[in-house]
């Protein structure tokens, strides 16, 4: 923690809710909730009653009141303390025997004690208007703002209205940002005063405990910043050793740091009105005066009511603007989803929607990334950088939506970038499929009321002191975009929900097509295989005829035909396997995997006479597992045959094929490894496509179905497969199958 953070923490720990001090224009009593006996009192009562604090401690409060107030004092104090129906009028006898009418404000601390505060009534012009007159002003204010849908316009109207009925020199409407710093969005002031409109003020100007009190006390008056504060007697209440809870006390003295802050601003008197929306402090109405300015309780009560009503107006305007924007976005998402055809892939269609997606998110650019391929529109980073960003995002656990206006700081792959992509919305559809939306970097100027880094300090006596300068301070912000719309998260949710529905429908459609294809493949393969028997037998017999055996040309032609028919027979066998991929015979059983592998190796060796001397097999120790035997057999058979067919290099050397397993925290990982020709990186994903055989495959045997069949089997059985390979350094296929430990 640096020195400045330590000072801020020290400022935030000031006991502002329990200062033990009150403002001198009123009097505070702590009385027993049951007997109204005085337990604690402000030390200035001598001015009003002519008696010392010691003389009144333990006495019933009604004894200090004028006779006409005594008989109802207990009832009204108790009622006001619990219902907050304040103020009520009380008359006291001063030291000269004169009656003094006071506004009385009561609130309950707990079941034991009540705080009662008295403010002598000053018959001035403001009071002469009467409470009804002030509420009529609130009614007029509501009428004048009810048709406005701009928060800034409402704030400007509020500033004018509050200045009119409170009489302060300056009235400002603050709005707090998500990071809690404040911006002046409305202001009314006397001629010749420096305007603060549109200035920003750091969050540290209002510590956390002060914000909490603004939620309890909706209106706070500071009559005179330079007036002496008044202590309590006794200093410590016997039931409140941590200090008397004064969070709701209207006379509570302000923090010394805040008092100095106001002096530094040239302010003598203040009134603050809380603006609360959905239980949170949305902002403040801050009223400043250059001289002591007393505001009667009637005006403060009106201000409190006004703050509640105007908070509702501000919330209405924000909600209406948000709903309007969300409604437009909702229609945009719905129209996009309606244009998608479930019979076609998402990737091919979403590329055609990039322009609309930019409009939907108010983005400058948009990119769709699928299996490493980038389709982009508008102002986007280079494709290579987009691919790096997706690779980095895909490694995050869990993959989640990212919304930021500062990707250069938050996304490691974007560090050091400039221009495009400062703002980023990243939406995952699958591990290798992402939609990215970009905003370009936008330099911004923020005008602060003083340097925001100039916060609190410690003076020569060790006391905290606030910042002294409020001169305009311009901050240039770079490396960020303009903020994303406030409804961005909602649009993302709607889009992802809609696309999830599309993907489900698309998957069902493709499954239907696959089922038809598998049935068709089975019929064709069965018919072809049945027709192959006769020509295969005929060519085999022909090769045994002496005349053919003695004629080299005829024998080679017969051999070529026989080999071609054998390849075609293998192809139809694999097609039949493909058509039976969904057969229900997949019950799990305890399988001796190592024995199964040895049996497969023996079969393969017998089927390739003449090649045994160049191909060696090594079977590692593999534990028994509970798995579908026929599925595992198909998988291993195809992978081992694939290594035998595609593994050998053009210049013959011994090919080693290894079959084994690797322990992991989860299911057993099986592998088939060879030291052959290897696979290029660009082919890693494609080798699992049906009929893809790679470069130079025409010279090698194989149908191009085997690896596609393997992946299909694993997909259907909750497994997965991946390959690690470098050209000329062999290949390792690893796979995981739905399994349980064997016996």
**675 touches 655 (CB < 8 A):** yes
Residue 272 tokens, joined:
């603050």
- Burial profile 492-520: b = 16 or more Cβ within 10 angstroms, e = fewer: bebbbebbeebbeebeeeeeeeeeeebee
Q: What phi, psi does 631 have (nearest 5°)?
A: -65, -45
Higher pLDDT: 397 or 155? It is 155
Residue 221 has pLDDT above 90, yes or no: yes
pLDDT tens profile 569-614: 555 565 555 555 555 455 788 999 999 999 888 878 876 655 555 7
For residue 599, give the H/E element and its range: helix 593-606
Give the pLDDT confidence of 621-653 residue by residue, as tens digits. 999 988 888 788 888 988 988 888 776 766 556
* pLDDT of the residue at 3: 45
Give the total residue count for the chain.
743
Does the domain spanning 21-121 belong to CATH 1.10.10.10? no
CATH of domain 123-225+267-339: 3.30.450.40
Q: What is the pLDDT of residues 382-431, one digit of tens each?
A: 999 999 988 888 887 666 889 998 888 888 888 877 678 888 999 888 76
Superfamily (CATH) of domain 342-441: PHY domain (3.30.450.270)
pLDDT in tens, 135-146: 677 777 788 888
pTM of the model: 0.60
Under 8 Å between Cβ of 363 and 425: yes
Give the contacts of 500 (CB within 8 A, at least 6 positions apart): none
Q: Could you say which architecture CATH assigns to the domain 583-743?
A: 2-Layer Sandwich (3.30)
Give 500's strand partners.
Answer: none
């Amino acid at each position: 923690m640096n020195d400045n953070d330590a000072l801020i923490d020290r400022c935030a720990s000031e006991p502002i809710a329990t200062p033990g001090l009150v403002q001198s224009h009123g009097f505070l009593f702590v009385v027993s909730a049951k007997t109204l006996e005085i337990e604690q009192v402000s030390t200035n009562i001598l001015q009003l009653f002519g008696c010392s604090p010691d003389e009144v401690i333990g006495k019933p409060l009604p004894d200090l009141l004028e006779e006409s107030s005594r008989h109802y004092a207990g009832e009204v104090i108790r009622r006001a303390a619990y219902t907050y129906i304040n103020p009520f009028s009380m008359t006291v006898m001063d030291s000269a025997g004169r009656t003094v009418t006071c506004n009385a404000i009561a609130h309950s601390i707990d079941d034991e004690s009540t705080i009662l505060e008295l403010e002598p009534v000053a018959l001035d012009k403001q009071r002469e208007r009467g409470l009804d007159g002030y509420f009529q002003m609130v009614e007029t204010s509501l009428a004048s703002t009810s048709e406005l849908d701009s928060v800034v316009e409402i704030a400007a109207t509020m500033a004018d209205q509050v200045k009119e009925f409170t009489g302060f020199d300056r009235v400002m409407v603050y709005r707090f940002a998500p990071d809690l710093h404040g911006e002046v969005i409305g202001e009314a002031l006397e001629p010749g005063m420096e305007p603060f409109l549109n200035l920003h003020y750091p969050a540290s100007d209002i510590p956390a405990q002060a914000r909490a009190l603004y939620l309890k006390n909706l209106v706070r008056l500071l009559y005179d910043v330079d007036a002496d504060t008044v202590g309590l007697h006794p200093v410590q209440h016997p039931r409140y050793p941590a200090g008397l809870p004064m969070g709701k006390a209207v006379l509570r003295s302000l923090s010394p740091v805040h008092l100095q802050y106001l002096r530094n601003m040239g302010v003598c008197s203040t009134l603050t009105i809380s603006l609360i929306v959905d239980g949170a402090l949305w902002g403040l109405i801050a009223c400043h005066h250059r001289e002591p300015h007393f505001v009667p309780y009637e005006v403060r009560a009106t201000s409190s009511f006004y703050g509640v009503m105007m908070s509702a107006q501000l919330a209405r305007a924000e909600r209406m603007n948000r709903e309007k924007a969300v409604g437009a976005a909702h229609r945009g998402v719905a129209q996009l989803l309606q244009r998608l055809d479930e019979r076609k892939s998402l990737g091919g269609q979403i590329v055609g929607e990039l322009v609309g997606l930019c409009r939907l998110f108010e983005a400058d650019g948009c990119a769709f990334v699928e299996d490493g391929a980038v389709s982009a529109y508008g102002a986007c980073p280079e494709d290579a950088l987009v691919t790096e960003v997706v690779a980095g995002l895909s490694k995050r656990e869990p993959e989640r939506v990212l919304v930021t206006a500062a990707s250069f700081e938050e996304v490691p792959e974007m560090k050091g970038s400039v221009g495009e992509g400062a703002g980023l919305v990243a939406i995952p559809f699958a591990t290798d499929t992402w939609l990215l939306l970009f905003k370009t970097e936008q330099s911004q100027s923020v005008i602060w009321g003083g340097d925001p880094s100039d916060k609190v300090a410690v003076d020569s006596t060790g006391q905290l002191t606030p910042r002294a300068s409020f001169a305009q301070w311009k901050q240039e912000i770079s490396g960020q975009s303009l903020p994303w719309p406030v409804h961005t998260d909602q649009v993302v949710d709607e889009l992802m929900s809609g696309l999830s529905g599309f993907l489900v429908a698309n998957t069902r459609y493709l499954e239907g097509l696959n089922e038809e294809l598998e049935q068709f493949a089975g019929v064709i393969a069965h018919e072809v295989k049945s027709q192959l028997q006769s020509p295969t037998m005929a060519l085999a017999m022909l090769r045994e005829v002496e005349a053919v055996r003695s004629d080299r040309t005829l024998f080679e032609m017969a051999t070529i035909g026989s080999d071609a028919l054998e390849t075609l027979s293998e192809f139809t066998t694999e097609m039949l396997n493909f058509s039976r991929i969904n057969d229900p015979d997949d019950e799990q059983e305890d399988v001796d995997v190592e024995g199964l592998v040895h049996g497969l190796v023996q079969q393969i060796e017998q089927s390739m006479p003449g090649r045994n001397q160049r191909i060696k097999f090594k079977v590692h120790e593999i534990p028994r597992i509970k798995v579908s035997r026929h599925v595992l057999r198909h998988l291993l058979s195809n992978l081992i045959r694939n290594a035998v067919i595609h593994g050998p290099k053009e210049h013959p050397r011994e090919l080693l094929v290894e079959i084994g397993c690797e322990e992991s925290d989860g299911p057993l990982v099986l592998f088939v490894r060879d030291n052959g020709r290897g696979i290029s990186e660009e082919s890693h994903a494609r080798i699992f496509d049906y009929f893809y055989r790679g470069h130079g495959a025409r010279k090698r045997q194989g149908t191009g179905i085997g690896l596609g069949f393997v992946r299909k089997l694993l997909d259907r059985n909750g497994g997965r497969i991946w390959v690690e390979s470098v050209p000329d350094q062999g290949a390792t296929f690893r796979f995981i199958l739905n399994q349980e430990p064997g016996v």
